[in-house]
C-alpha cells in the first residue's frame, strides 16, 4: 500500500516543526551560557535531540513539541525514556571520563505559541 500525499505533507510539516522547536530550545540554553555540542546525535541506543556543553559536563536534552505544554509532556513514553538513557550512556561512555562525566538529562517542552519550559534532570535517578 502506498503512502497518501496528505500523510507525507503532515509528516514533513511535523519534521520541520520539530527542527524549529529544537533550534528554539538550543537558543534558550545558549541564552543561559551553554554551548551546543551536538544536534540530533545518533548512537546505537537512539537519538538525542540536543547535547550542550556545560563546563566539564553535558546537558542532554529531549525536545517535545505539541499544541500545549501538557500535551508535549505526555509525548515522552517509558520506552522512549529507556532509549534516551541508553543513548546517553553511549555518548557519555565515549567521553574521556566515561560514565563519570558530569551530565544531566533535561526534557524541553515547546507549545504551539513557542513557549519553552525545561524540566531539568527529568530523567535523573
Tens-place pLDDT, residues 30-65: 999 999 999 999 999 899 999 999 999 999 999 999
Q: What is the DSSP letter of 68?
A: S
Q: Which of 30, 40, 24, 28 is nearest to 113 (CA)?
A: 24
Q: Which of 88, 93, 81 is nearest to 42 (CA)?
A: 88
Query: Which CATH architecture does the domain made up of 5-119 adopt?
Result: 3-Layer(aba) Sandwich (3.40)
Exposure b/e, 40-61, CB count within 10 A at least 16 = b = ebebebbebbbbbebeeebbbb
Cβ atoms of residues 15 and 29 within 8 Å = no
Can you give the residue ranges of every domain in the chain?
5-119
Rounded (10°) CA dihedral 81, 86, 89, 93: -160
Determine whether 72 is exposed, middle or buried from the number of CB atoms within 10 Å of its CB (0-12, 13-18, 19+): buried
pLDDT computed for residue 124 by the predictor: 76
Tens-place pLDDT, residues 63-83: 999 999 999 999 889 999 999
Tens-place pLDDT, residues 101-119: 999 999 999 998 989 999 9
pLDDT band for position 14 (cuts 50, 70, 90): low
How far apart (Å, rounded) are the C-alpha atoms in residues 27 and 23? Answer: 6
**Residue 10 reports pLDDT greater than 70:** no
- pTM for the model: 0.86
**Residue 125 reports pLDDT greater than 80:** no
Amino acid at each position: 500500500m502506498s503512502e497518501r500525499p496528505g500523510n507525507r505533507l503532515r509528516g514533513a510539516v511535523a519534521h520541520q516543526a520539530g527542527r524549529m522547536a529544537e533550534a528554539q530550545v538550543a537558543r534558550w540554553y545558549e541564552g543561559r551560557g551553554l554551548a551546543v555540542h551536538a544536534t540530533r546525535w545518533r548512537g546505537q541506543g537512539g537519538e538525542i535531540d540536543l547535547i550542550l556543553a556545560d563546563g566539564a559536563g553535558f546537558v542532554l536534552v529531549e525536545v517535545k513539541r505539541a499544541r500545549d505544554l501538557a500535551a508535549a509532556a505526555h509525548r515522552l513514553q517509558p520506552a522512549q525514556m529507556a532509549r534516551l538513557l541508553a543513548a546517553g550512556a553511549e555518548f557519555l561512555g565515549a567521553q574521556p571520563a566515561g560514565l563519570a562525566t558530569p551530565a544531566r538529562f533535561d526534557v524541553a517542552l515547546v507549545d504551539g505559541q513557542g513557549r519553552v519550559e525545561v524540566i531539568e534532570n527529568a530523567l535523573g535517578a
